[in-house]
Structure 1
Amino acid sequence: MTHTHDLFDEAINKDYMPSRRVPDADAIVAAWVRDSAAVRETFPPVELAYGAGEHERLDVFKPDPEARATLLFIHGGYWQAFYKETFSYLAPPLLEAGIRVAVMSYHLTPAVTLAQIVTQARQATAFTATQFPGPLIVAGHSAGGHLAAMIHATDWAAQGLPDVKLTGGIGISGVYELGPLRRTELQPALQLSAQQAHTLSPAFLQPISAAPFLVAVGADESDSFVWQSQQLADAWPGVASQVRLLPGRHHFGAPDDLLNLALELLK
């Protein structure tokens, strides 16, 4: 059996650790927390449970008056950090555009497996679609981009879930081919076998939804993150088309383009 540390590769690890590549990463995350707290004061969300687990929860922000669409946002943190409360800051521009915003939490590794988190994302999507009929966009950033793509590749009947009709998907600086992550410091928490990394990689799956999936990545990201987006665009021609490089955006600034991407899908 290959031990986890035998796989580690310093160069690959460096490319996949944006918190070390972006000098003020900690300050940006602190601003997310601060801004999100302010948003929650101004627009108190309704918390809904999409499952029985402690973190199987959504924060729903509703525009005034009626929503033209719902956007389900799945946060990043490499499946081992953050909950929904940190990402309320993304809601106001979407609300202003008439878009209902649902931000989901999920359980984190290593307490659960990545496969279990994928199941939670699917359950949250089916729940959101049932609760809020109408146009639905599923968007995710970083590890959340991976989960958004997995949703796009979901056979709902096979999962025992109600059918979901997506208007579109958005992956912002996502990871779609998980093999390289086995060679990073994430592997002790993820514990991915080569087989699991393949099975859980959207780049090796076919999209089930025919709706467009926008593959966007910060232009200032590492080569590996740009490569990840290219892998999905190449694997999903017609659905994903070309990679969108977001000018002037590093990993932590890329979610700020969420509204523009969502509006593109609602044209």
Structure 2
Amino acid sequence: MATDATPLPEGERLYNARLAIPHYQRIFDGWARASAAVRNSAPCRLDIAYGPHAMERLDLFLPAGRPRGTLMYIHGGYWRSLDKSDASHVAPPFTAAGYAVAVVNYALCPAVDVETIVAQVRRAAAWLAVHHAEWDAPADRLFACGHSAGGHLAAMLLATEPCVAAAVCVSALYDLRPLLQVPSVVEATGFTPRSVPALSPALLKPLTAAPLHTALGGDENPGFHAQFDAIRESWRSVHAGHVACPGLDHFTILDALTRPDGAIAVAALRLMQSFDTTTSASSFS
């Protein structure tokens, strides 16, 4: 990392949220505490295997009655950190509304590459689509949601998996080419000019007409605003709406997803509930 004698690389200023938010560890600790409380109090099935790797596990949180659908949540951490145990607190607004929530783990860089992580998340989606009857959920209502790198993985599902009905991507990464100028990310992921195009949703085509909905904090690093512009332009045919979150940064934006009255949670539920009566999404604002 840069010292007093070495200027900070511009890519770090644009994309390194931890540098922009020095108290990030306090936020992460709060997520972990809130998530532990959810696991200790909510109906759930923990550490379900969806594949052979030790990290291919998910936690399933269940509503009181028959699920209206299943939400697959993918945590962030720049593909190199955090865990599903830090993200259980995403579930309550959705289980309260009648949805099952599967919080997915995946292996982390540098132990594996991002190509492997994408394959794992695709495997998780396919597993949920096949096994939905085990928690009595409808077959055609599998939704994906992710934050940051998890949002990138959710968007990759729309480019590769026909089983996902819609995705909500929060503060996500869509064109990975600029990350080649972020030394901390390249060091962890091993990204190269050859590898990133096939991993960039903005450079791919949506596989189906499943809607992509986005959310972004007003206080995000500048690079994340550029990422939103890229996907809005390149996926115009399926980009069905956006939630702007003034005053929230790359980490506090999750408050808008984990609170029942949060703007992202409310909008995501509106989207998901639209599938109760139609196969096309309602407006998302």
TM-score in terms of structure 1 length? 0.90
Q: Which amino acid in the other structure matches residue 178 of structure 1?
A: L
**1:139 corresponds to 2:145:** yes
The equivalent residue for 1:36 is 35
> Structure 1: where are the runs of 5+ without partners?
1-7, 157-162
**Equivalence map 1:94-113=2 (5 Å):** 94-113=94-113
Name the SS of the counterpart of 1:101 in structure 2. Answer: strand
Q: Which amino acid in the other structure matches residue 174 of structure 2?
A: Y
Q: Is the 8 A contact 1:140 1:148 kept in 2?
A: yes
How far does residue 9 in structure 1 lie from its aligned partner after superposition?
6.8
Identity in percent: 38
**Equivalence map 1:1-267=2 (5 Å):** 10-47=9-46, 48-132=48-132, 133-154=139-160, 156=161, 164=163, 166-184=164-182, 185-241=184-240, 243-258=242-257, 259-266=265-272, 267=274
Q: Deviations over 1:79-138 (max 9, x none)?
A: 000111110111111111111100000000111110000000100001111111241110
Q: Is the 8 A contact 1:90 1:256 kept in 2?
A: no
Query: Which 10-residue stretch deviates more, 197-206 or 16-25?
Result: 16-25
- Matched residue count: 252
**How far apart, in 2, do the equivalents of 1:20 and 1:152 lie?**
31
Q: Is the 8 A contact 2:16 2:221 kept in 1?
A: no
Runs of 4+ in 1 over 4 A off after TM superposition: none
**How far apart, in 2, do the equivalents of 1:198 and 1:9 lie?**
26
> Structure 2: where are the runs of 5+ without partners?
1-6, 133-138, 258-264, 275-285
Structural RMSD (CA): 1.6
How far does residue 257 in structure 1 lie from its aligned partner after superposition?
2.9
**How far apart, in 1, do the equivalents of 2:177 and 2:8 lie?**
12
Q: Deviations over 1:24-79 (max 9, x none)?
A: 31111110011111111101521311101101001000000111111000000000
Name the SS of the counterpart of 1:186 in structure 2. Answer: helix
Q: Which amino acid in the other structure matches residue 110 of structure 2?
A: P
Q: Which amino acid in the other structure matches residue 111 of structure 1?
A: A
**How far apart, in 1, do the equivalents of 2:249 and 2:53 lie?**
33
